[in-house]
Amino acid sequence: MAAPLSRSALRARDALVLQHLSLADAVASAVARRFFPLVEREDLIQVAREALLRTVMRCKAGEPAVRRQ
């Protein structure tokens, strides 16, 4: 189990999520428009936001984002 985050780490995480929330929503909306009859927009927004929350925990200050395959 991971160690609990400090208050400053939690604030930094929250700020990063809020900074990129509109991007996650925009990507989810674009995918929803493309696959309109197959998926609901709200479902895709929820998935994008959950992915953002999981991903932000791997970010380190000052390092560029790296795509894992």
- Quick check: helix, strand or coil at residue 4? coil
Domain that holds residue 24: 8-56
- pLDDT recorded at residue 66: 64
For 33: left if phi > 0, alpha if psi spans -120 to 50, otherwise beta; the answer is: alpha
* Mean predicted lDDT score pLDDT of the chain: 85
Residue range 22-48: mean pLDDT, rounded: 92
Is residue 61 in a domain? Answer: no
What percentage of residues in the chain have a pLDDT greater than 90?
Answer: 41
Is residue 14 in a domain? Answer: yes
Is residue 62 in a domain? Answer: no
Is residue 19 in a domain? Answer: yes
Q: Residues 6 or more apart from 45 whose CB is under 8 A from it?
A: 24, 25, 28, 29, 32
* Distance separating alpha carbons of residues 25 and 65, to the nearest angstrom: 19
Distance spanning both ends of the chain, measured CA to CA:
24
Is residue 68 in a domain? Answer: no
Total tally of structural domains belonging to the chain: 1
pLDDT confidence bin for 9, thresholds 50/70/90: confident
- pLDDT recorded at residue 13: 86
- pLDDT recorded at residue 1: 59
Is residue 1 in a domain? Answer: no
- pTM of the entire predicted model: 0.74
